[in-house]
Structure 1
Amino acid sequence: MSHLSQYLAQNQFCVLIEYLTSSQKIFSVPNQLAGFPVCMTLADRVHSDTDLSPLDAAALYPKDIEKVLHFAGKGRDIADFERFLLDAKNSKQHNLLLLTGDKLKNHHFGDDQQPRTRYLESVNAVIAAKQHGNFYIGVAFNPFKYVEAEQDAQYFKLCKKLKAGADFIITQLGYDIVALQQVKNFLTEQAATQKILACVMPLTLARANFMLKHQVAGIVITPHMLQVLQDEKAAGLTEQVYARCALQILLCKHLGFAGVHLSACHQTEEQTRLQHYIEEYKALDFAACLSLWNHLWQVQTGQEFYPKLVQYSRPVSSKQILKYQHLSFMHDAFFASKMAKSFGHFIFKSSFWDKTTTSQALLKSEFVSKHRIVGCESCGQCRLGKTLYICPETCPKGLANGPCGGTTLDRCEFGDRECIHSVKARLAKAVQQTEILKTELIPTVPFEIRGSSSWKNWFRDEADWG
């Protein structure tokens, strides 16, 4: 039985304290913080790609401590996740936070020496975990996006995560209260039953500088915020850090959040200082908390948490729309129509296509016909009809269901391209196909079919014809 699920079902505001697993040091985990029940969360591959697994770290702590295990899909496939689920179930761990994850420190784009690094999407992980049953499943969401297409793409994918069966949501770390209020309003408008928690952190100058230096994916630290922290540091006002964090926690409680995910506050001394300010401000109403929050952050315009807007993206062109319409017509005519399905099944059921020579010739023909147009990489399970003919293989992480949380102003986390999911979101609006980006749950490509012809696989797999 998950205590976390009980807290959220009973509308009992709770605090999830995050502990990194980069060392095997054991920390003291409190039962409560300022009267709010506490669960520990164990992060996955945050410090390095070889951190101790959350499952192994959980075994170091007493069983009566409620735990939430993170699972990041970076560098993993569905088979890795299936093994994790069995191990978690055997260890009687019920609470999971399923993430696609930021880029691996040792990411490979693929060459003769190293295969391409792939990432298991959180949407697919949720579906698999639901099929196993007995798990209470959380997902991440980044509401701190300030370009229309980038924001749309995040919300489209959130809809997919909820449809897949997520039980609760945790936001990315961020300090824009308006953005947090917007996602809470969105869930209310959608009549979503899932509870949402906000990720918060006592933001010191050192932590802000670290995140800027290392370009931590998806986190917005503006020049204004940095200047406030620098001025406080110079004036010796170290307690402001914990006062602000306490206020953000209480603001989230007033907004109707179910709790918070507290990062970088695993030391007892830090927790004691934070608890002091939560208790000091607990009696304040929302307006009073917000006023004090704005004072401490020196908010004047309301846009102090907004990044400087840089135009990386381009509006949808008539050429893009024409390409979409052409490929959509071709797909319907040659793959989706009843005649095409019947004819294709008749042709490809023959074992002739399993011979090495003909199989390679077919694969080469498919690659040549599609690579220059859409960037095909012979995944063996073409999903173009579900992704507006923008190939998910052109995403460095290979994400088909939507973006990760690491984009910045439409720019991919890898920094070398525009996020394909922003392109897709703009195109979807232009051709009135946004619904497909909210509802179409795209399966994971099995590792064993990569490098085979999707044409042959499409016509042989009658189960996907519905």
Structure 2
Amino acid sequence: MSSMKQALNDGRFVCVLEVVPQQSPSRLAALEHIVQRGHLAGWPLLPAFADRVGLHSDLSPLEGAGALGYPASSLLHFSGKDRSRADLLLQMNVMKAHGLEQLLMLSGDRLPGHHPGQAPVRYLESVPALQIAREHCPDWLLGAALNPFKYREEEGGAQYLKAQKKLLAGADFLTLQLGFDAAKHIEAQTWMRAQSRVKPMLACVMELTDKRAAVLQGVPGIVITESMRALLEREQQVSKAYASARSLERLALQIVGLQLMGYAGVHVSGLHTLDELLSLEQAITEQRDSTSSMTDWLDRWQASWQMPGAPQVGFAPQIDAWEMGQSNVTATRRERLRYTLLSKVHGQFFSRTGWLSQAFGWSVTRPIWKTGAAANALHTVERAIKRPLVGCDTCGTCRLQDTLYICPETCPKGLANGPCGGTRLNRCEFGDRECVHSVKYRVAKSAHQLPVLAQTLIPAIEADNRHRSSWPAWFEPQKSTPGQAKALD
């Protein structure tokens, strides 16, 4: 059994140290000292190797772990951006050869140079990646991400619905996005405790300095408000030492609070040396010894974000922010009409039961359409019909019925099972559109189909299956698999 799995099974609070593998001898030497120590404030300390978050010259998670001799406690990340099933299986096979059995699945943020409207970049999203990994290594410890720091009903609700899919797909634990809003940390715990099978959750934390806050404001999915920035700047104006002490105090206090909330551990970023680790350990010990209850902790947390004469700090980007339990959005008249029309078309042509559907199915499954010019012609016809209606890119396995007739190909990442964590107030991470999964949430809510967004696991589309008609396969049930999405609508 892996060390992290053992700790989680035993109910021991665990600290995961996130490392961005770099070709830096000094950074590697410092990391070796931390890994050899193996604990933080009495808690197990495990290295986690990030994937595709830094410069192109950074090492892969496997190379990062290899530089330290493949410690068995390592948690490797797998980012699905511009990746396929084969990439995941290759990493898993190498991990298996070195005795590594812990993997965190992430869809990944925007790939550098990826611009909508140009050549599409497709992502192996976390839900099918979890299914693939669970099938090949049923005993491994598998994790996925959750971003509860959402302040509109559509994006927040869609995040939790997709998280349910991740649990169904085989996630043993969830790791939260980096965030500082204690109300959202509590909200996520409330959600998890309401699930039929409660899984442990970790929360990402970082010592937040003024300099880091300036960078993080541009990172998709991370919320740093202007009032937070103002306080950090004010602290910096007092002195660098004062600002540093305050940010270290907040990090330690946040870790203590997360344990009180019921989190199974923390995922610590931005810690690079043993001296930094020891300073954090001392601060944690002081906060832990002086914090008596959750009520006491909340008072301390608020006080740590205050200075005499400074404006009150808010952690939400807007005053009218959504909270779990609020339900006031609905699909627009146009969105409802579009869903109704497309569902009726699907019922007529793709139900496989009516005479029109059976006739259409018979016609598109003739051998003539399987190869050559005829197959290309059928593909062209399907694309010509569906692209103006839904933005279809003829992925070869149409999933529209399971996505409420919102084509996954209109998501810049091609995500079918739900949103990534990079949205902000319903806006796509790419900034040029509303997130299609927010639209899908409104439609599903209005059509009483929200369970579909939580329970239907949509498989990944293999590259070799793309750019061909989905119609013949739809009418050949023997090729379908349980849970596979449906075809054209």
TM range (shorter): over 0.9
Secondary structure at the counterpart of residue 371 of structure 1: helix
Distance 2:112 2:38 in 1: 34
| Displacement of 1:342 | 5.1
**Any unmatched runs of 5+ in structure 2?**
322-328, 483-489
Corresponding residue for 1:176?
181
Secondary structure at the counterpart of residue 78 of structure 2: strand
Q: State the AA in 1 paired with 2:251.
A: C
Q: Could you list the per-position Cα deviations for residues 238-271 of structure 1 after superposition, in whole angstroms to 9, with x for gaps in the alignment? A: 2011110011101010011000000101222221
| Displacement of 1:330 | 1.4
The total of aligned residue pairs comes to 459
| Kept in 2: contact 1:149–1:410 (CA 8 A) | yes
| Kept in 1: contact 2:306–2:312 (CA 8 A) | no
Corresponding residue for 1:296?
304
Give the 3 Å change call, closer, same or farther, for CA 50–452 of structure 1 in structure 2: farther
Distance 1:301 1:432 in 2: 43
Distance 1:247 1:160 in 2: 32
Give the 3 Å change call, closer, same or farther, for CA 350–309 of structure 1 in structure 2: farther
1:123 to 104, 124, 127: 127
Aligned-CA RMSD value: 2.1
Matches of residues 445-456 of structure 1 in structure 2 within 5 Å?
A: 445-456=461-472
Corresponding residue for 1:199?
204
Distance 1:386 1:375 in 2: 16
| Displacement of 1:235 | 1.1
Give the 3 Å change call, closer, same or farther, for CA 395–297 of structure 1 in structure 2: same
Corresponding residue for 1:222?
225
Corresponding residue for 1:40?
47
Distance 1:16 1:195 in 2: 14
Corresponding residue for 2:485?
none
| Displacement of 1:169 | 0.5
Distance 1:3 1:45 in 2: 25
Matches of residues 424-435 of structure 1 in structure 2 within 5 Å?
A: 424-435=440-451
Distance 2:320 2:459 in 1: 34
1:366 to 359, 371, 382: 382
Distance 2:206 2:299 in 1: 20
Distance 2:457 2:396 in 1: 18
Distance 2:135 2:312 in 1: 44
Secondary structure at the counterpart of residue 67 of structure 2: coil
State which drifts further: 265-274 or 369-378: 265-274
Corresponding residue for 1:60?
67
Give the 3 Å change call, closer, same or farther, for CA 102–378 of structure 1 in structure 2: same
| Kept in 1: contact 2:72–2:100 (CA 8 A) | no
Distance 2:371 2:365 in 1: 13
Distance 1:60 1:341 in 2: 59
Secondary structure at the counterpart of residue 18 of structure 2: strand
Q: Could you list the per-position Cα deviations for residues 367-404 of structure 1 after superposition, in whole angstroms to 9, with x for gaps in the alignment? A: 11111110011111110000000000000000000000
1:274 to 248, 272, 280: 280
TM-score (norm: length of structure 2) = 0.90
Corresponding residue for 1:142?
147
Matches of residues 21-40 of structure 1 in structure 2 within 5 Å?
A: 21-25=21-25, 26=28, 27=31, 28=33, 29=35, 30-40=37-47
Distance 2:320 2:56 in 1: 31
Instruction: State yes or no: 1:89 paired with 2:96.
Output: yes
| Displacement of 1:298 | 2.2
State which drifts further: 365-374 or 397-406: 365-374
Distance 1:301 1:180 in 2: 23
Corresponding residue for 1:261?
267
Corresponding residue for 2:166?
161
State which drifts further: 279-288 or 238-247: 279-288
Corresponding residue for 2:418?
402
Corresponding residue for 2:216?
211
1:307 to 317, 342, 355: 317
State which drifts further: 222-231 or 54-63: 54-63
Give the 3 Å change call, closer, same or farther, for CA 40–396 of structure 1 in structure 2: same
Distance 1:73 1:102 in 2: 9
Corresponding residue for 1:324?
339
Q: Could you list the per-position Cα deviations for residues 14-48 of structure 1 after superposition, in whole angstroms to 9, with x for gaps in the alignment? A: 10001111324311223111111111100001112
| Kept in 2: contact 1:24–1:57 (CA 8 A) | no
Distance 2:187 2:475 in 1: 44
| Kept in 1: contact 2:70–2:98 (CA 8 A) | no
Distance 2:305 2:477 in 1: 57
| Displacement of 1:87 | 1.6
Percentage identity across paired residues of the two chains: 40
Q: State the AA in 1 paired with 2:390.
A: V
| Displacement of 1:193 | 2.7
| Kept in 2: contact 1:366–1:453 (CA 8 A) | yes
Secondary structure at the counterpart of residue 338 of structure 1: coil
Distance 1:315 1:188 in 2: 27
Distance 1:347 1:465 in 2: 23
Q: State the AA in 1 paired with 2:207.
A: P
| Kept in 1: contact 2:427–2:433 (CA 8 A) | yes
| Displacement of 1:108 | 4.8
Give the 3 Å change call, closer, same or farther, for CA 64–75 of structure 1 in structure 2: closer
Q: State the AA in 1 paired with 2:102.
A: N
Give the 3 Å change call, closer, same or farther, for CA 100–17 of structure 1 in structure 2: same
Corresponding residue for 2:326?
none
Give the 3 Å change call, closer, same or farther, for CA 24–91 of structure 1 in structure 2: farther
TM-score (norm: length of structure 1) = 0.94
| Kept in 2: contact 1:49–1:104 (CA 8 A) | no
Secondary structure at the counterpart of residue 12 of structure 1: coil
| Kept in 2: contact 1:72–1:100 (CA 8 A) | yes
| Kept in 2: contact 1:18–1:266 (CA 8 A) | no
Give the 3 Å change call, closer, same or farther, for CA 363–460 of structure 1 in structure 2: same
**Any unmatched runs of 5+ in structure 1?**
none
Secondary structure at the counterpart of residue 480 of structure 2: helix
